Amino acid sequence: MTKLSSIADYVTDKISSNDIALREYVTTDCILQNKKGREIATNLPPQSCCLTRYQHGDVLIANIRPYLKKVWFADIDGGASSDVLVFRAKEGHSPSFLYAVLLQDSFFDYVMQGAKGSKMPRGDKEQILRYEMPTLSCSEESIGTFFLNLDQKIRLNEQINQNLEAMAKQLYDYWFVQFDFPNEEGKPYKSSGGEMVWNEKLKRKIPNEWDNCKLKDFINLFDSKRIPLSSKDREERKGNYPYYGATGIMDYVNEYIFDGDYILLAEDGSTSDSKGFPIVQYIWGKNWVNNHAHIILPKNEQYLMFTYQMLRSIPAKQIETGSIQKKISQENLCEYNMVLPNSILIEKYESIISPLWEKRKLCIEEINALIKQRDELLPLLMNGQASVNSDLSHD
């Protein structure tokens, strides 16, 4: 066995926050949970400060709540906040192999064993460097390259999905928010002088021949009876199907599994995103769903994509209640007045977007399969129970 300290050091070099761009700034918040890389930070520090200078090939770990498994292999140079640990491979060792070591679930489990604090546990930097791993029979480079390639395939699928979702949202906004859907001549309706009429219930102008309705007249809300489970039952059911909502799902679960395509809208707690819109999710297949989410289908199930985008476009403050603990009740949701386009236009939107969404679903399923493959292979390769074919590591 060998210790992490034999292949890596902490980086202690500093850089001023004034000397980096926003895309180069890394905080614990912008490193994503469950080994999903990172996103761009929302802003630089408000005042000039010293950051840890990282470089391409370093591995960054968020040291607050290590159980969230936040890790990123740096593909640029930049600066990181103080609660981000920056690891650098020692001379003669592979940076990509170091990344593979720190990707392991066993590594994060080990860090939590030495973490200090209850509400916001932090890893013990000295204890972390004592993490032990087997001496390898195959090269570090082949293992590291293999897992970097897997990561790249996952990130590529995520980028494809981001683009597909952005296209669906953009078209929805053009047609149903800005009212620039194609008119009979194929020109944008409102921009080309299409007739707009005042709607008293909506207190706004909408395209001629459009209408309004209560949300309860457009969607169906689904609930299921909850049955308490013993600890033995919970353990037996845990992990059989994906579940959505808070972890209480393991205490009170649905009497049956939701199977098919559904839309979920957060009911309480974090009900809206940073832009003030409801947190809405599209799920499919067999899933447990707990009572912290509204389960929704349009009355016309052919209008699923339109409904998903429509729910995401409602200003959350119009359907939320509560000042500290926000909640979106069924009553508030059902009484919301929505713009109702003509059915021909909704059907046209569905015909364009549905094939893109099927591609998105396939990408997500491939991502999940790659993540499962990665997490199953990591310990096998590290323990010498499997080896990497040199051809595979460069595919």
Query: In sequence order, which ranges of the chain are alpha helices (DSSP H)?
Result: 95-103, 105-113, 125-128, 140-172, 231-237, 304-312, 330-335, 343-382
The residue among 101, 144, 153, 137 whose CA lies nearest residue 387 is 137
Question: Which of 6-15, 72-81, 110-119, 265-274 shows the lowest per-residue confidence on average (mean pLDDT)?
Answer: 265-274
Name the residue with higher pLDDT: 251 or 217: 217
Average pLDDT (301-305) is 94
Reported as a single tens digit per residue, the pLDDT across 291-301 is 778 889 999 99
Reported as a single tens digit per residue, the pLDDT across 260-276 is 888 888 887 788 887 88
Can you name the residues that pair with 278 across neighbouring β-strands? 272
Name the residue with higher pLDDT: 389 or 306: 306
Q: Which residues contact 176 (CB under 8 A, 6 or more apart)?
A: 306, 309, 310, 313, 339, 341, 349
Q: Is the pLDDT of residue 70 over 60?
A: yes
Prediction pTM value: 0.76
Q: Is the pLDDT of residue 340 over 50?
A: yes
Reported as a single tens digit per residue, the pLDDT across 361-392 is 999 999 989 998 888 888 888 776 666 665 44
SS3 of the chain: helix, strand, coil, percent, to 5: 40, 25, 40
Q: Is the pLDDT of residue 333 over 60?
A: yes
